[in-house]
Amino acid sequence: MNATAPRWASVPDLDTPAVVVDVAVVDRNITRMVHELRDRGVALRPHAKTHKSLDVARLQLSHGATGITTATLGEAEVFVDGGIPDVFIAYPIWAVGRKAQRLADLARRAPRLLVGADNPSGVAALAAAVGRSSRLEVVVEVESGEHRTGVQSPEQAVAVARAILDSGLRLAGVFTHGGHSYASADAALPAANDEVDALLAAAQAIGQLGVDVPMLSAGSTPTALLSSRDGVTEERPGTFVFGDRQQVALGAHPTDAVALFVIATVVSTEVPGQVVLDAGAKILSKDLPATLDGHGFLPHYPQAIVRRVFDHHAIVEVARGEAPALGERVIVVPNHVCPVVNLVDELYLVDDGAVVGRWPVDARGRNT
């Protein structure tokens, strides 16, 4: 369940709390995922909601990723305008009002832009927003077991595909997110199977319309290496780039490949049996997956548990004889890395405890 400590000689000398990233480990994580997928003949289109950073996106492309994924139009604007040439908004954008205008503008200036849809009405809104001659590509979202968004059957996939073709938009293919892979360590393989089955069934049904379905896109960090087969053309994992406590607990990320840490200071030790850190929910978030106990892990104090988090305090239950001292700076592995990154303006890059640079979180807060 727990991650290995970073191999730093000392905790970085930064005002706490701060988010620090080991660039060498990030590099290794990207290289590994690109190569593993390349061996399977599958492209990597990482989800950028994890890092929200142009620097990381460029690193991912330089290592062989074919494009990136975003969850919002606002994120896509940041990455397109930052020079990323192939961006997929894997989300059923409801394109009305200013959002319609923004999407149309972005489709004009992006070298390649794709967007999701799971309903003919959503497609009609997209078409009205961008016009028939737009190069915007639309991808049919297929539900594969998470019960969130996406069509529920191949017949519905065909209905959405028809709406795309009838509206004059380009049909790129089908995508799904097997997010039910997060339920437990045993859930990844069945979820990956569900992803493959749902994509193949939808693609086959749409293919009977006599059109190409070039893109079969699956994705989540736990399933990426399991559903990359049988005709799936790309994977969209996000968290793999940094890793987090949840991914390690699920067995979806190597324990020694966690690249992102929150550093914090012990600010109070008055209440027996616990120490209080200056890293609260406004940097650790309150993400508490059902698979985890507590809000974070202190790799140098493996018996400690982040039991409660307030806005600016974390209460760490400590074992007798194993507790950080008042004023000590500690390292915390957060439960879920995506909301953590979204809470800060920059990630500090660290090499052996020294700060060697910064990555701005360019798309932080780009929710719309």
Smallest CA-to-CA distance from 136 within 150, 125, 148, 144 is with 125
Q: Hey, which residues between 48 and 67 contact a copy of itself (CB under 8 A)?
A: 49
Query: Which of 132, 133, 270, 321 contacts a copy of itself by CB under 8 A?
Result: 270
Stretch that binds a copy of itself, among 105-113, 114-122, 196-204, 297-305 (CB under 8 A): 114-122
Smallest CA-to-CA distance from 276 within 348, 343, 324 is with 324
Which amino acid belongs to residue 49? K
Q: Does 267 bind a copy of itself (CB under 8 A)?
A: yes
Query: Which of 78, 287, 306, 316 contacts a copy of itself by CB under 8 A?
Result: 287
Q: Does 268 bind a copy of itself (CB under 8 A)?
A: yes
Place of tokens 């593993």: 36
Place of tokens 């940041």: 78
Q: Does 121 bind a copy of itself (CB under 8 A)?
A: yes
Q: Does 313 bind a copy of itself (CB under 8 A)?
A: yes
Query: Which of 12, 122, 222, 334 contacts a copy of itself by CB under 8 A?
Result: 122
Structure token digits, residue 239: 């968290």
Q: Shortest approach of a copy of itself to residue 243 CB, angstroms? A: 16
Query: Which of 250, 285, 316, 340 contacts a copy of itself by CB under 8 A?
Result: 285
Q: Exposure of 328 by Cβ count < 10 A (0-12 exposed, 13-18 middle, 19+ buried)?
A: middle
**Sign of the alpha-carbon dihedral angle for 276, 279, 285, 287:** negative
Q: Does 271 bind a copy of itself (CB under 8 A)?
A: yes
Query: Which of 4, 62, 303, 368 contacts a copy of itself by CB under 8 A?
Result: 368
Q: Does 150 bind a copy of itself (CB under 8 A)?
A: yes
Number of residues this chain uses to bind a copy of itself (CB under 8 A) = 66
Helix (H) or strand (E) holding 103: helix 97-109
Alpha-carbon distance 137 to 115, whole Å? 6
Stretch that binds a copy of itself, among 38-46, 80-88, 116-124, 184-192 (CB under 8 A): 116-124
User: Are 122 and 92 a contacting pair, CB within 8 Å?
Assistant: yes
DSSP code per residue over 219-283: --TTTTTTS--TT--EE---GGGT--HHHHHHTSS-GGG--EEEEEEEEE--STTEEEES--HHH
User: Are 330 and 281 a contacting pair, CB within 8 Å?
Assistant: no
Q: Shortest approach of a copy of itself to residue 121 CB, angstroms? A: 6
Alpha-carbon distance 11 to 359, whole Å? 19
Radius of gyration of the chain (CA): 21
Binding mask 1-40 for a copy of itself (x = CB under 8 A): ------------x-xxxx----------------------
Residues in contact with a copy of itself by the rule CB under 8 A: 13, 15-18, 49, 71-72, 91-94, 96-99, 102, 118-119, 121-122, 125, 143, 147-152, 156, 179, 265-271, 274, 276, 278-279, 281-283, 285-288, 308, 310-313, 315, 326-327, 338-339, 342-345, 365, 367-368
